[in-house]
Amino acid sequence: MPDFSVGLAIVLLLVLGAEFVNGWTDAPNAIATVVSTRCLSPLQAVCMASALNLAGVLSGTAVAETIGKDIIDPGAVDLLTVGGAMVGIVLWSTLAAGWGIPTSESHALVAGLTGAGLASAGPQVLVWEGWRKVLFGLLLSSALGFLAGALVVTLVYWIFRGIQPGRIRGTFRVLQIFSSAFMAFSHGSNDGQKFMGTFTLALVLGGHLGSFTIPWWVISLCASVMALGTMTGGWRIMKTMGMKISRLQTHQGFAAEMAAASTIELATRMGVPLSTTHTISTAIMGVCAVRKSSAVRWNVAVQLLNVWILTFPACGLISWCVVKLFRFLF
């Protein structure tokens, strides 16, 4: 492995910092429901999520290539662009984590790269192919997440009709462990790939890779950093996702996780970066709305929606300002 310049080393550390924050603030979404239904303790769930996130990151590179090549034109930007985007993501996500708000790292990353890219090269830096996938991901994470959650829980009610609630609860305590593991894996396969795509982009811009080919050591490093971030806890995020949107029963937690994880895996195999936070949130809403609309705390849902909408301009503006400031100073 060649020696890194100081500038490249700083940018790579910023990317790893953003990946760590991703594991800290976003990965808890994968285990929020299994903790809230008390199928696993927070420690057990965090350990499981760390391992499955790691496995998910190692499962492919399609999403990483979309982030690294198709959001902004790599030929029109430099290392400062990537560094500015990472500063925006870390600042915004850390603030949100302090408030216990589950932000979308996908939206933060796309917005950060966009704001930094606009500051560096103007509107022509944007690549439509990647943005088409981002917009499609928004549709999948919102509409399909909600509908899939409603469909899966409806099937559960139909299959287990006439069976005593106590027997169902015991069965789904076991099934939900498997569904939460699937959710953790799918989170790694989509969200975990995004920052290794950014890491590789930095290596290309720094002259250490001749083409956008993701080395195995980059995959392993980014996966390990995200797993480390997950191990730090994220209990406040788990509490928001698993308890504040609605009080979940084990069969509802299973349905939400299966719906969300299936949607995320579909997107991953298509190379579509989508928000895992959006997907599990809307799946929970769809699951709970089937029986009773009032079971969903819509005021909490509206608060989350406002934060998600704010993420795009906030991260974009912070990243734009950071790049402009650094170019003025240096």
Q: Return per-residue pLDDT of the chain as tens, 330 residues.
A: 445 688 899 999 999 988 887 777 666 666 777 777 777 777 787 788 778 888 888 888 899 999 999 999 999 999 999 999 999 888 887 777 666 666 677 888 999 999 999 999 999 999 998 999 998 998 888 889 999 999 999 999 999 888 876 778 778 888 988 998 998 899 889 988 888 999 999 999 998 888 898 999 998 898 888 878 877 755 555 555 544 444 678 888 899 999 999 999 999 999 999 888 788 888 988 998 887 765 666 666 676 677 777 888 889 999 999 999 988 887
Helix boundaries (H) for the chain? 6-25, 32-36, 42-57, 62-69, 79-98, 105-121, 128-139, 145-159, 165-205, 216-231, 235-239, 250-269, 276-291, 298-329
Domain that holds residue 28: 6-329
Residue 157 lies in a domain: yes
Among 291, 4, 230, 197, smallest CA distance to 97 is for 230
pTM for this structure?
0.84
Residue 309 lies in a domain: yes
Residue 1 lies in a domain: no
Residue 227 lies in a domain: yes
> How many domains does the chain divide into?
1
Q: Do 235 and 261 form a contact (C-beta atoms < 8 A)?
A: no
